[in-house]
Amino acid sequence: MASGRRPNLERRHRMTELRDQGYTFGEIGQMFGVTRQCVQRALNPAPRSRVVRVRCRECDCDINPAGAVPRDDRDVLCLSCLAQRPDAAFGEHLKAYRLAAGLKVVGLAEKAGVYASVISSYEHGRLGAPTWHLMTRLFQALGVRLAVDSHGPAEDGGVDEHRFDALMPTLQEAELLSVG
């Protein structure tokens, strides 16, 4: 949604004519009583953001690009491929479900009440599995219900890496979140 006043097209046209005559942005700015940066913005509007394409690294299917950055392309699993890999690390699960939900790291951080750097660290494997409390907060923010095995969380409140697959959502839940 645009904000501020409507652009003065006559003024912009006059700036363009002066620029074509060889005047610098600074000189044009002095003539109009504005900064050279203001003239640059008027003559060179911000480029439109490009759409990022994100594909699964296993099956090459498209994944919701809403929360993605270019480096995510072929660096994440789709939810169907993730369901077939119970040995996948917590960070891979978190990133796949975040992208399926269309959230950026910052958006998930705000919804879960944690720092974005924490989420990024989990996704990039710099941190192991989180505490049970944090895991439930993260997946609740993503709208995913966790299926718990009979053992429950580990004694220290963390997640036993060997039983992690039992904590992940079922394939039917995964298909509900998938986009496309």
pLDDT digits (tens, 9 = 90+) for 113-140: 999 999 999 999 999 889 989 998 998 9
What integer pLDDT is reported at residue 35 of this predicted model?
93
Spatial separation of the C-alpha atoms in residues 67 and 111, rounded to whole Å: 14
Structural domain boundaries, residue 16: 9-43
Question: Do residues 14 and 75 share a domain?
Answer: no
pLDDT digits (tens, 9 = 90+) for 53-104: 889 999 999 998 888 888 888 889 999 999 999 888 999 999 999 999 999 9
Domains of the chain: total: 2
Please give the share of the chain, as a percent, with pLDDT higher than 70: 77
Residue 12, CA distances (Å) to 3, 8, 9, 65 in order: 18, 6, 5, 35
Question: Do residues 157 and 95 share a domain?
Answer: yes
Average pLDDT score, the chain:
80
The answer to whether position 1 is within a domain reads no
The answer to whether position 168 is within a domain reads yes
The answer to whether position 2 is within a domain reads no
CATH number for the domain including 109? 1.10.260.40
Cα dihedral value 96, 101, 106, 107, nearest 10: -160
Question: Do residues 80 and 37 share a domain?
Answer: no
The answer to whether position 160 is within a domain reads yes
The answer to whether position 118 is within a domain reads yes
The pTM assigned to this predicted structure is 0.60
Residue 165: pLDDT band (50, 70, 90) is very low
